Structure 1
Amino acid sequence: MSTASRLRDSTQILLPADAIDGLSEDLTDRFTVTIRREQSRVRIIGSPVEIKQASAFLTRNGVAVE
């Protein structure tokens, strides 16, 4: 059985707020994700498949995704 933290990690990406400057429109156009701005962070939320693809997209565009 999956743990809550493992499921959360597969359905969201948490980054500094400025990490996706200039990329947020591309993210929402290419992938079915929701982007929430939270003070100094941005949270990208989606299905595990979408998050995996969005993570690869961000990495290709120079954003360090952990």
Structure 2
Amino acid sequence: MTEVARLRDSTQILLPPGALDGLREELESRFVVTITREADGVRIIGSPVVIKDVSGYLARNGVTLA
């Protein structure tokens, strides 16, 4: 994996549309992230440390990460 791909993977999560239904507000209040809707899904962007914590939070709330 190239350095750019590794950095991108550690600073963002791409989810399918609707994956954050019912979770977005709490996610934004608990973590310093930017959440954007895109044609192919929802992108969560943050620092590597925050993205790791967000991944754990999502997993605990039943959101499967690829």
Considering only aligned residues, what root-mean-square deviation do their CA atoms show, in Å?
A: 1.0
Query: How far apart, CA to CA, are the structure 2 residues paired with 1:65 and 1:25?
Result: 19
Bigger share in strand: 1
Aligned length: 65
Query: How far apart, CA to CA, are the structure 2 residues paired with 1:14 and 1:40?
Result: 9
Shift of residue 39 of structure 1? 1.8
Q: Name 1:64's counterpart in structure 2.
A: 64
Q: Name 2:39's counterpart in structure 1.
A: 39
Shift of residue 40 of structure 1? 3.3
Query: How far apart, CA to CA, are the structure 2 residues paired with 1:45 and 1:39?
Result: 16
What are the ranges of 5 or more consecutive residues in structure 1 without an aligned counterpart? none
Q: Name 1:9's counterpart in structure 2.
A: 9
What are the ranges of 5 or more consecutive residues in structure 2 without an aligned counterpart? none
- The DSSP-based 3-state class of the residue aligned with 1:51 is helix
Query: How far apart, CA to CA, are the structure 2 residues paired with 1:21 and 1:63?
Result: 10
- The DSSP-based 3-state class of the residue aligned with 2:65 is coil
Using the size of structure 1 for normalisation, the TM-score is 0.93
Query: How far apart, CA to CA, are the structure 2 residues paired with 1:39 and 1:57?
Result: 24
